[in-house]
Amino acid sequence: MQRERVILHSDLNNFFASVECVLNPELKGKPLIVCGDPKKRHGVVLAKNEEAKKYGIKTGDTVYSALDKCPDLQMVQSHHPEYVRFSALVKEIYGRFTEQIEERSIDECALDVTESVQLFGDGETIAHKIRKAIKEELGVTVSVGVSFNKVFAKLASEMKKPDAVTVLTRENYKQKIYGLPVTDLWLVGGSMAQKLHRYGIKTIGQLTESDEELLIRVFGKRGRQVWVYARGEDDEPVHWQKENTDTKSVGNSATLPKDATDREEIKRWLYALSESVSTRLKKANVGRASTLHLIVRYADLRFDSWQTKIPPTTLCGDIAKGAYELFCKHCPLGTKIRLLGVTVSGFDYQVEQLSLLGMVDEEEGKMSYEKKERVESAVAKLREKYGYASVQRGLVLHDEHLDGLDVRGLKVGDEHKEKNKK
């Protein structure tokens, strides 16, 4: 039986204003806005705290209108570097529970904690632990939504504020959200809501019962998208391989030409992907990786992901071996696989050499890390000179889809290149 995903969406409450209150405790409990230069009293409200909300002050209000609503309003200038610093500290707390963190904005993140429940408890328990840690350690609060997909987790995070946890399960989501305004659903803005209202669609529940074809005719792809979201059928993964100047992870994934069940076929694809990851890892020059992540998408479009520690490496063989072992451990024989993804992280420049002999592990009678590294370097040079397909692993030649395929360019949904013609 495939495991149900456990997704959290965290939303820091009144983030900018909350940070300002931590920096200046005298502001706590007073109506407060973050704006431009308070002395000049112009510009707009960038953020407000709970006390300011009680006066009807909204983000985007002019400072003048905010002062009209609350003459005793406290005003502070924005300190963006501090907000960035606090955001990073919050993400460090998230990282105690999972590496699968997707930054949605400076104050919002999606987290996949599916694999963490065995260590820290169910999704609701993890959410409360995160909420408590952020409040006690940083002095700001967060609302966390817990659900089986990203859209419902985000919706749940909005349902109760501040400093709260809300859970939407397959058993209770209809009761909890079907009566909510359709604008509460992600991607449904004011303009779209007005058009939906013309068709008598005012709640999320009414959206689920509407004609899919009608929505497509009126709104195009987005019409079907919000219909899928409302029905709880969102299967988008948490995109935690964020690319930035400080490389945190290196990975690659591919949709298979057809659903695969044969483990030898899956092993070939894992080697092809691992070769891509190994090549990129070496080019990134970030050191050896010590954590391996495997992502699997099944034929029914559900996702699973797992991670494990591996001996520090940049080698394709080590990465592929770890990925295949993870696959065999978690995926029963006969499981239909549509997509595979391999990612490594946990880079270390200072890792010690694994073998002082540099050639052969005397005890195991196997090729050492250093010799394997030299072999892969030699292969890379041959490919650079004569083309990627000039040297191929015997394992991948058994698969016509991989023979001659330059895996360095694989992306999810790519059309597979034709085999090189001799």
Report H helices in 32-122.
Answer: 50-53, 63-69, 80-94, 117-120
Rg of the chain in Å (alpha carbons)? 26
- Cα 242 to Cα 99: distance, rounded to the nearest angstrom: 11
**Residue 11 φ then ψ, to 5°:** -135, 105
Coil, strand or helix: which one is 380? Answer: helix
Pair 176, 168: CB distance under 8 Å: yes
Give the Cα separation of 84 and 90 in Å (integer).
10
Q: What are residue 126's phi and psi, to 5 degrees? A: -65, -45
- 256 CB-near residues (< 8 Å, 6+ apart): 269, 337, 338, 339, 340
Q: Does residue 108 carry a catalytic annotation?
A: yes
Residue 414 CB-half CA count within 13 A: 16
Residue with tokens 């204003």: 17
Q: Give, in order, the Cα–Cα distances in Å from 138 to each of 8, 11, 24, 135, 361.
A: 20, 15, 13, 6, 49
Exactly one of 4, 82, 108, 158 is catalytic; which is it? 108
3-state secondary structure string, 181-225? EHHHCCCCCHHHHHHHHHCCCCEHHHHHCCCHHHHHHHHCHHHHH
Quick check: 6 and 122 in contact, CB under 8 A?
Answer: yes
Report whether 210 contacts 195 (CB < 8 A). Answer: no
Q: Which residues are catalytic?
A: 108
